[in-house]
Homo-oligomer: A and B are copies of this chain.
Amino acid sequence: MFDKNAVAKKPPMGWNSYDYYDTTVTEKDVRVNAEYMAAHLKPYGYEYIVIDIQWSDPNAGKNRPKEQYINFSHLCLDEYSRQIPAENRFPSSRNGAGFKPLSDYIHSLGLKFGIHIMRGIPRYAAHTHMKLKGTDVTADQIANPFSISKWNGDMYGVLHDRPGAQEYYNSLFELYAQWGVDFVKVDDICNTNMYEKNPYSAEKEIEMIHRAIAACGRPMVLSLSPGPAVIEKAWHLEKYANMWRITDDFWDDWRLLKAMFERCEVWQKHVSEGCFPDCDMLPVGRLGKGFMNERSTKFTWDEQKTMMTLWCMFRSPLMIGADLPQLDKATLELLTNRDVLYLATDCHGARQVSQDSEHAVWTCRDNNRNNYIALFNLSDTEAEIEASLEDIGVSEIHFLEDLWEHQIVDPQQKPSKTGKISAIVPPHGVALYRTTYGDGRLCQNQ
């Protein structure tokens, strides 16, 4: 019995090439990032190395800064309308090897390998009536000329009720299984924003991809982009996918981070084993080279802690956007705080306690009777953020540990007396606490 949840019992953690390399990532870039991960991040649970968009376009990035994607570029295709890596960028893919050699190398480091695809079939294949594997029909017979992406001109959607449609998707995942792919990020599928009145228009393509993964015999995480996902379709996403983006692309901009609280509010009840609403990559460290906008993250340290706290408590997947080899020590520590990562990996029941434009409070718990409370300051000035024990759902608190500062909070502030937990929090910052019933222990996961 195929269980799509088995491959992602906890939120997937890893690295994605997009935030730094945009469409231009090469085999060499992937290897050095994987090597860094194996050395520095794997012990903390990070394991996926994901190659993002446009790996089949030999000219990707050449029209920068005018255009992100090259309209009508001739993508590298095999005889069955399937995209294959551009050899000039991924030399080991020569002679039909595809991503197999690179994937093997990633696996040899103890990591897992992921790729990005756009839903659908190349437009060029449809217009030139190319063949499909495992069926007599041709690409034009399954392509939908009215199903396009709003932002990338490569593909047409696939008509699910046409003979050959499922066979086409099966042929894709058969190939990806041969390559050793562990993770597929499918794009223009979660919110097909070209179609404003029907953003979930690719529903049937999600089902075809789900079946193709089941059929290919290799477990793969199914990640859907872009957001915002449609909350009314939560049941369908939970049934067929492992993670789905709940926002449009996320970047190092406070307004986007602040808006994420509203998205997490909406999706808080929909997090479970194999089902992870996705807040998108963590835009920390060095970013933007492929976009011709290379920089260090514009987030302040407080904002970065706010982000890590929210992502972990909400149990979003944790995909690092930075160029890993350039990570500084502080950012590495931010990403490897065991106490904070523990929220993502071992806690549950996260819920928003209160929220307005100035603040948010979240809480979750672990299996050891500990509660976790995050007090977020969403305003632009330092403020006292508080939550009542009643709202948090605990009757008394013996010890309170600050998980970012790694210290036990001053007993003078014992909340049992006031019925509240509160903290002075810097602008855009967070105070994150663990409460314990028994004897306090300092930051057990350090």
A123 to chain B: which residues have CB within 8 Å?
A: 123, 127, 145
Asked whether A153 is an interface residue with its Cβ less than 8 Å from the other chain, the reply is yes
Q: A235-B352, A269-B270 are in contact. Are A153 and B148 (CB under 8 A)?
A: no
Of the residues B2, B269, B389, contact of A234 by C-beta under 8 Å: B269
| 0/1 interface trace, chain A 110-136, chain B, CB 8 Å (1 if under) | 000000000000011011110000000
* Interface pair A235/B71, CB less than 8 Å apart: no
A197 near B: Cβ within 8 Å?
Answer: yes
Cβ A390 vs Cβ B143 within 8 A:
no
Among A145, A148, A389: residue with most chain B CB under 10 A: A145
Residue pair B145, A71 in contact (C-beta under 8 Å) = yes
- Majority secondary structure of chain A interface residues (helix, strand, loop or mixed): mixed
| Contact across chains for A268 and B235 when beta carbons are under 8 A apart | yes
Asked if A140 CB lies within 8 Å of chain B CBs, one says yes
Scoring A146, A266, A352 by chain B CB atoms within 10 A of each residue's CB, the highest score goes to A146
B232 near A72: Cβ-Cβ < 8 Å = no
Residues of chain B with a CB closer than 8 A to A143's CB: 71-72
A145/B140 contact (C-beta < 8 A), A266-B232, A351-B235 known: no
Q: Closest approach, in angstroms, between the C-beta of A239 and any C-beta of chain B?
A: 8
- With most chain B CB atoms within 10 A of its CB, the pick from A123, A197, A235, A268 is A235
Chain B residues near A235: list those with CB within 8 A: 265-266, 268-269, 351-352
A330 is an interface residue with CB less than 8 A from chain B: no
Give the CA-CA distance A293 to B150 in the complex, in Å: 36
Can you name the residue of chain B whose Cβ is closest to the Cβ of A151? B146
A196 close to chain B: CB less than 8 A? yes
A395 contacts the other chain (CB 8 A): yes
CB A136 to nearest CB in B, in angstroms, measures: 16
Give every chain B residue within 8 A of A352 (Cβ-Cβ): 235
A1 located at the interface, meaning its Cβ lies under 8 Å from any Cβ of chain B in the complex? yes
List B contacts of A265 (CB < 8 A): 232, 235
Indicate whether A231 reaches chain B with its CB closer than 8 angstroms.
yes
**B150 near A148: Cβ-Cβ < 8 Å:** no
Distance (Å) between the CB of A315 and the closest chain B CB? 15
Chain B, residue nearest A354 (CB): B239
CA distance A18 to B197 in the complex (A): 30
Q: Determine which of B128, B196, B266, B390 lies in contact with A127 in the assembled complex, contact meaning CB atoms within 8 Å.
A: B128
Q: A238 — nearest CB in chain B belongs to which residue?
A: B269
How many angstroms from the CA of A97 to the CA of B230 in the assembled complex? 51
Bound: A235/B355 CA distance, A: 11
CB distance from A276 to the nearest CB of B (A): 14
A58 CB to nearest B CB, Å: 15
Interchain CB contact under 8 A, B390 and A145: no
Q: Which residues of B contact A197 (CB under 8 A)?
A: 196
The residues of B that contact A269 with a CB separation of less than 8 Å are 234-235, 269-270
The CA of A395 and the CA of B3, in the complex, are separated in Å by: 12
Which residues of chain A (402-421) have a CB below 8 Å from chain B?
none
A72 to B123, CA, bound (A): 10
Residue numbers in B under 8 Å from A72 (CB-CB)? 126-127, 129, 140, 143, 145
| Bound CA span A433–B126, Å | 47
Query: In whole angstroms, how far apart are the Cα atoms of A255 and B196 in the complex?
Result: 26
Shortest distance from the beta carbon of A208 to any chain B beta carbon, whole Å: 16
Q: How far is the CA of A153 from the CA of B124 in the complex (A)?
A: 14
Min C-beta distance of A71 to chain B, whole Å: 5
> What is the bound-complex CA distance between A395 and B2, given in angstroms?
11
Q: Using A72-B145, A148-B148, A196-B197 as known contacts, list a sample of 8 further A-B pairs with CB atoms less than 8 Å apart, ordered by residue number in A.
A: A2-B390, A71-B145, A146-B150, A196-B196, A232-B265, A235-B269, A269-B269, A269-B270
The 5 closest A-B pairs by CB, nearest first: A145-B153, A72-B140, A127-B127, A269-B269, A1-B390
The 29 listed contacts between A and B (C-beta, < 8 Å) are A1-B389, A1-B390, A1-B395, A2-B390, A71-B143, A71-B144, A71-B145, A72-B126, A72-B127, A72-B140, A72-B143, A123-B123, A124-B127, A127-B128, A128-B128, A145-B148, A145-B153, A146-B150, A148-B148, A196-B196, A196-B197, A231-B231, A231-B232, A232-B265, A232-B266, A234-B269, A235-B268, A235-B269, A269-B270
